Amino acid sequence: MSDETVVRLDQVRCRSYGICVSILPDVFDLPTDAKSAILLRHEVDPDDVEDLREAVRACPAQAILQGSGPT
Note the pLDDT tens digit of each residue in 1-59: 456 799 999 999 999 999 999 999 999 999 998 899 999 999 999 999 999 999 999 99
pLDDT computed for residue 4 by the predictor: 79
Closest by Cα among 47, 40, 41, 49 to 67? 49
How far is Cα 5 from Cα 33, in angstroms, rounded to an integer? 29
5-66, which class in CATH? alpha beta
pTM: 0.87
Alpha carbons 5 and 16: distance in angstroms, whole number = 23
Provide the pLDDT for residue 51: 97
Query: Are the C-beta atoms of residues 24 and 55 closer than 8 Å to each other?
Result: yes
| Share of the chain residues as helix, strand and coil, in percent rounded to the nearest 5 | 25, 25, 50
Q: What is the pLDDT of residue 69?
A: 60
